A and B are shown apart, each in its own frame.
Chain A
Amino acid sequence: MSPRRTETGGRVDRLRTIRFTFDGAPYTGHAGDTLASALLANGVTLFGRSFKYHRPRGLLSAGVEEPNALVTVLRGEVREPNVAATMVEIYDGLVAVSQNRMPSLAWDINAINQLGGKILSAGFYYKTFMGPVIGPLKGTRFWMFCEHFIRRAAGLGKAGTAPDPARYERMNAFCDVLVIGSGPAGLMAAKAAADQGARVILADLDAHFGGSANWSGETIDDMPAADWAQRMVGQLEGNDNVRLLPRTTVWGYYDGNTLAALERVTDHKEVAAKGEPRQRYWAIRAGTVVLATGAFERPLVFPGNDRPGVMLAHAAERYANEYGVLPGQRIALFTNNDSAYRSAVALKKAGAAVVAIIDVRSDVTGDMRRLASEAEAELLTGHAVIATEGGKALSGLKVQRFDVVSGALSGDGRSIHADCLLMSGGWSPTIHLASQAGAKAEWDPARQAFLPPKPTQRWIGAGAFTGSFSTAEAIAEGRAAGLAAAGGTSAPAALPVVEAAPGDPDPAPVFEIRAKGKSFVDFQHDVTAEDVRLAHREGFVSVEHLKRYTTLGMATDQGKNSNVPGLAIMAEALGKPIPEVGTTRFRPPYTAVSIGSLAAERFGDLKPERLTPMHDWHLANGATMYSAGLWYRPMIYGLAGETVEQAYVREAKATRESAGIVDVSTLGKIAVQGPDAAELLDRVYTNMFSTLAVGKARYGLMLREDGFAFDDGTTWRLGEQDFLMTTTTANAGKVMQHLEYFLDVIWPELKVTVTSVTDEWAGAAIGGPNARAILAACVKGTAVDNATLPFMGIVHGEIAGVPVMICRLSFSGEMAFEVYSGAGYGTRVWEALIEAGKPFGLVTYGLEALGTMRIEKGHVTGAEIDGRTTARDLHLDWMLSKKKPFIGSAMMDREGLIASDRLQLVGLIALDNRPLNGGGHIVEELDEANPHGSLGHITACCYSPALGKYIALALVKGGKARHGTRAFVSDPLRDRFGPVEIVSNHFYDPDGSRMHG
């Protein structure tokens, strides 16, 4: 005998046949079936192999909490592992395979692990593989040897390696009321809130709204509960202010009533419709949340409770009533509470023989006796199941007399022949989202369950979630919650009338039957009751430690079934009541969430690319581009056959001999304007700017509040109250934020505005002995001679009809000019300068030559202003004004910041005439085998055409005092060792005669 489809009943569409395969074998089911119900209807009871022992496993549940029946769904090359068969809706062409078995589900070679049960107990890994090597079979090295085999044998499905071609979407949604769960409570809440005019979202993880109404067999308002639910959904569908989200799991509850949900849009379809994503990630901001998430039935812990054919009582009821599938034909029930009696009647009605109801309680009410006789079941009160029989399918069970107070078994065992055993260990409200949202759950001794905590965010509970397990209560609470959430006060009309089986919601406090054999607590992670006790014996008393040591509740089902039984067994071992043992907090996600849905449209290279106005010109003229932060800048303009070094040496050399031009549009530019602009600059720069004349520029240095160097650049005074500040390319955003902070928070009295104008200006720096002559050839409207345009002077003129602003300042050390024009005309001005430079052999140069010339001059950049250096370390102390306080002035003179043995900026010359590398260390004594004694490190390096040597800038301990001494570079990673001379960082033209010229 085996499971089968019933002749009638269920809510599947029996006229529609759907074909799919499982482990390669073809099966059929009906529209409305899950993979679990369809396979069960085909007589399949074996769904998977357990995690550790490879025991055969069947369906435990019919819903999201399923720990056993995990499968891999294949779509083309893409495999999605560890999906609960109970949550997979079948479609034509569905291909599913079982997991964690070799070579096949029925014949699994690793089932031999069951014989090693004693060894594979809790803490197996710690005991076997941790610690020092003692003999050949212990320790970390042994782990490394075994890992491959263990990883193959243990675990779940294999992730795929093929790229996922599916499209995912992200949606932001706002609503007044978010109702989670669409059972009677949720439907009532959504309807009540919608009737008040609130914007409502109703989400349910199942394909069909209705929750327990779809399978309870109860009657609401004189119609089957499922029909009543359909009518309610129909009424909600007609409302403009209601959004219905089926197949949508709300998996995270975050601050500010923000919830995360995953909608499985097309996972149930053979082919997605045009434009439909596979899944949609919802970020929902809800005014109030109604948690109507129901409750989970708990398994009982007894030997053999994991055999295929043993399942939760309500799950069997659901298979019968919702899917028209009988999970067995001779069914026994084992319970500690009244709810299983309704299940017994439902299965009897659906056509199964209910052979016995085994109840741990010594007596039950007359109502229950009546239900038992309605199910034509033998009622065995004061009994317990002590074993199950059969191989890969259940064939029978053994019961014995049981004392509900002491837990003692007595009398002779008795065998009962059955192909399906249903168990009910009471119900646990699904409080996961409430737990995520805040406080700890509270233990209710009557319900023997954790009830939701007091709300710490704006949510209201309703129905089984609150511990009110009857449908009548759910309906009343749901409507009250919906009204309250929508802020409604109108007097409600009469509530729908429910006809339901009687029953007391409080179970007997029995979680485990202690008898010989493996009794599973956590089915998915193969944690037995004995593992929990072993952990206790080994000293694990905290529930958090217990969880980690045994891995109880840490599988993909996150302990949805095992949490409370595990705690109860731990509490008994500790001799403490359950509330004193405590529970763990639930964390998001409630169920597994695909990474694809989290990324949604945001994948690939997400960085914006910043291009200068002359970008296309650079590409068209042979530039090799280099990414500097978000910017793209020319590295070199290489000629055919040139190496990078040859190219930058040529470019730098030509600049120093005649003239070169470089794109400097990337420099940060901030307009500082207002009556107090000069005052602000005096406060943020270490040197004075209020004394700067209009039409002049000055080099400035900024410190942080803690006295370390922050950024440098030139600031131009364009008018009395109008400055143009330039920053380094990398720090443009940080400097802007720095200024805004001080203006807004510290000095709101200053009348200054700062505006980022980096993208408004195109900049070209032209330098070299012939730079002035080239400008003179193309600039109109102003002279550029020494008198009109002295060092650090600014003039306004025109190039190629475009207004330009020219400032004479130099980074290269040559006589140089920065030419700024409106960004839209950057290329026009650039081309005009190139044209004017042709008779002079003007070269374009890139970042490499720029860096080379600045190293030769000893100028600092971000490599030296690295957040750890002070102005003094960089020999910029001449810029520290003594006439005024500035940001960092109070802190910069602290003892540690003025010590003489700090890392200071120096120059290095390679004495072996070989290239140096950034990051290489400087040492006094060379020891290649045992590098040690670093004095500092290289920050920038190049071949200097001006010196004809390989040189570098470095930060070296007490560097200033070491000028003229010899040291060594020690760079073991790149195997570069050799002698260097420490010199001043001003390698070239130290008195600046060339740029002042």
Chain B
Amino acid sequence: MLITCPYCGPRDVIEFTYQGDGNRERPQPASQNLDDWNAYVYDRLNPAGDHNEIWQHSGGCRAHLRVVRNTVTHEILSTEFAHGGHKSAGHKAGSRS
């Protein structure tokens, strides 16, 4: 499997570490809603098809990437920086790009 890191280019999957389901939404830090926290910490989508995932280029630039991968064909449909390409102060914690 090849993942195209926006910074380093196409690299073998052995350079990357899977960092979990990219659909999770972290509740606001002060939130006391346990259902939200429970969903964030434990609930995972497991689709047969396109899946939004977080991968870290741990053996390269160490950036986290948002990867859309088909879990059936293993085709990588898109990759982008998890932080949306720039670190803006307006980025909402836990928001989906």
Contact check, A890 vs B64: say whether CB atoms are below 8 A apart: no
Q: Is A741 an interface residue (CB 8 A)?
A: yes
Contacts of A890 in B (CB 8 A): 27, 31-32, 34, 37
| Known A-B contacts A683-B29, A705-B41, A749-B91; A740 and B62 likewise in contact (beta carbons under 8 Å) | yes
Contact A751/B87 with A705-B41, A741-B19 known, Cβ cut-off 8 Å: yes
A162 at interface by CB-CB < 8 Å: no
Secondary structure class of chain B's binding surface, majority of residues: loop
B71: min CB distance to chain A, Å: 11
- From B40, B64, B89, give the contact of A705 (CB < 8 A): B40
Q: Is the CB of A744 within 8 A of B30?
A: no
Query: Is A255 within 8 A of B74, CB to CB?
Result: yes
CA distance A747 to B89 in the complex (A): 9
Instruction: Kindly state the separation between the CA atoms of A243 and B62 in the bound complex, as whole angstroms.
Output: 35
Number of A-B contacts (CB under 8 A): 69
Contact A891 B41 (CB under 8 A): yes
**Interface status of B88 (Cβ within 8 A of chain A):** yes
**Chain B 60-77 interface mask (CB, 8 Å, partner A; 1/0):** 001110000000011010
Chain B residue nearest in CB terms to A748? B83
Q: B45 at interface (Cβ–Cβ under 8 A)?
A: no
B-facing mask of A229-263, CB < 8 A → 1, else 0?
Answer: 00000000000000000000000001110100000
Cross-chain contact B91 with A885 (CB below 8 angstroms): no
* A15 lies within 8 A of chain B by Cβ: no
Give, as a whole number of angstroms, the nearest-CB distance from B70 to chain A. 10
**B83 smallest CB distance to A (angstroms):** 4
Are A737 and B58 in contact, CB atoms less than 8 angstroms apart?
Answer: yes
In the complex, which of the residues A256, A258, A744, A749 contacts B90, with contact meaning CB atoms closer than 8 Å?
Answer: A749
**Per-residue A-contact encoding for B40-66, CB less than 8 Å = 1, 0 else:** 111000000000001010100011100
Flag whether A1 is at the interface (Cβ < 8 A).
no
Identify which of B17, B29, B74, B81 contacts A737 (C-beta below 8 A).
Answer: B17
Q: What chain A residues lie within 8 Å of B73 (beta carbons)?
A: 438, 456
Give min CB distance, B91 to chain A, whole Å. Answer: 5
A886 to B64, CA, bound (A): 22
Contact status B19-A746, CB under 8 Å: no
What sequence of 0s and 1s flags, for each residue 702-719 of chain A, a beta carbon within 8 Å of any chain B beta carbon?
000110000000000000
A148 interfacial contact with B, CB 8 Å? no
Interface flags, A149-166, vs B, CB<8A=1, else 0:
000000000000000000
Is B63 in contact with A744, judged by CB distance below 8 angstroms? Answer: yes
Q: Given contacts A438-B73, A705-B40, A744-B83, is CB(A256)–CB(B1) below 8 Å?
A: yes
Residues of A within 8 A of B32 (CB): 890
Taking the complex as formed, is A199 at the interface, i.e. its CB lies under 8 A from any CB of chain B?
Answer: no
Contact with A along B74-97 (1 / 0, CB 8 A): 101000011110011111011000
B2 at the interface (CB under 8 A from A): yes
Complexed CA–CA distance, A847 and B31 (Å)? 43
Across the two chains, which residue of chain A brings its CB closest to B27? A890
Tell me if A653 counts as interface (CB < 8 A to partner B).
no
Roughly how many angstroms separate A278 CA and B15 CA in the complex, as a whole number?
A: 29
CA separation between A521 and B31, bound complex, in Å?
67
CB of A885 within 8 A of CB of B29, answer yes
Within the complex, what minimum Cβ distance (angstroms) separates B39 from chain A?
Answer: 12
Quick check: A744 and B89 within 8 Å, CB to CB? no
> How long is the Cα–Cα vector from A254 to B1 in the complex, in angstroms?
8
Closest residue on chain A to residue B37 by CB atoms: A890
Tell yes or no: A620 within 8 A of B by CB.
Answer: no
Cα A52 to Cα B54 with chains together (Å): 52
Assuming the contacts A741-B19, A745-B64, A748-B91, asked whether A706 and B41 have C-beta atoms less than 8 A apart, the reply is yes
* Complex: chain B residue closest to A683, CB-CB: B29
Taking a contact as CB atoms under 8 Å apart, the answer to whether B90 and A746 are in contact is no
Cβ of A516 within 8 Å of any chain B Cβ, yes or no, is no
- Which chain B positions have C-beta within 8 A of A749? 87-91, 93
**Known A256-B74, A891-B41; 17 more pairs at CB < 8 Å:** A256-B1, A706-B41, A737-B56, A740-B64, A741-B19, A741-B64, A744-B63, A746-B93, A746-B94, A747-B93, A748-B84, A749-B87, A749-B88, A749-B90, A889-B29, A890-B32, A891-B34
* CB pairs A–B below 8 angstroms (17 shown): A254-B1, A256-B1, A258-B1, A258-B2, A438-B73, A683-B29, A706-B41, A737-B17, A740-B62, A745-B54, A745-B82, A745-B83, A748-B82, A748-B87, A889-B29, A890-B34, A891-B34
Q: Which residues of A contact B (CB under 8 A)?
A: 254-256, 258, 285, 438, 456, 683, 705-706, 737, 740-741, 744-749, 751, 885-886, 889-891, 894
Closest 5 CB pairs between A and B? Answer: A748-B83, A744-B64, A255-B74, A885-B29, A256-B2
